[in-house]
Amino acid sequence: MNLALPRRAAAEFAGTALLVAAVVGSGIAAARLSPDDVGLQLLENAIATALALGALILTFGPVSGAHFNPVVSAVDWWLGRRAGTGLTPRDLAAYTGAQVTGAIAGAILADLMFGLPAVTFSGTARTGGNLWLAEVVATAGLVVLIFALARSGRSAAAPAAVGAYIGAAYWFTSSTSFANPAVTIGRAFTDTFAGIMPTSVPGFVAAQLAGGLLAVAALALWYPDSGDAADAVVVPRLGEEENR
């Protein structure tokens, strides 16, 4: 039996909040410590994010699966619906709400930890076909990786593999790999290194959803029965009796 939905949603809220706090907080620290070197700032931000993501998957994975991403949750529901695995529509709604509100809370937390106003909407414009294409690629690659690991019985590698992918994608995508609608929305609430202008959010989210659709098509080709392993995304959740 899976853990109760409120308990899992709380884990998704906390995990996504801490992920965004890591992204935003490390961006603020990088800008302060290396004010004259944007490349070094990005490196510091990428390393901190990758390490934090791996640790958060280890922490919250046994409770909720550690999705922290509405696209991952939506694909989990879609692929698992016929096999009776993965999220139900009710789960998906709860996870998505928890992830989005958690992301906003994480951005506010990071701002407060660094002595900034709790909310200052970002003035950093991130728009253009090249950035949207990068988000399609980053999101599709992330989703395929997660489901490939689950279907091939290698979910234990997810903390390291997912963290490594996001850390690398900071550098091989022009958008620096947001790859997550909730994180994108949260990062609009901070006018810092990691921020994104609110008017740029819809384009990024649309590209991320397109990336999720591309991932579904790729998984149908390469892992046609990946829905059978939807309960193991990102990592397997424990049953109620196992987690006591």
Sign for the pseudo-dihedral over CA of 206, 204, 137, 147: negative
Contact 125, 200 (CB under 8 A): yes
The whole model's pTM is what?
0.95
pLDDT at 2: 60
What domains are defined for the chain?
Answer: 5-243 (1.20.1080.10)
* CA distance to 59, 121, 124, 177, 196, per residue, from 200 (Å): 32, 12, 9, 14, 7
pLDDT digits (tens, 9 = 90+) for 15-72: 999 999 999 999 999 999 999 999 999 999 999 999 999 999 999 999 999 999 999 9
Q: How far apart are CA 236 and CA 203, in angstroms?
A: 32
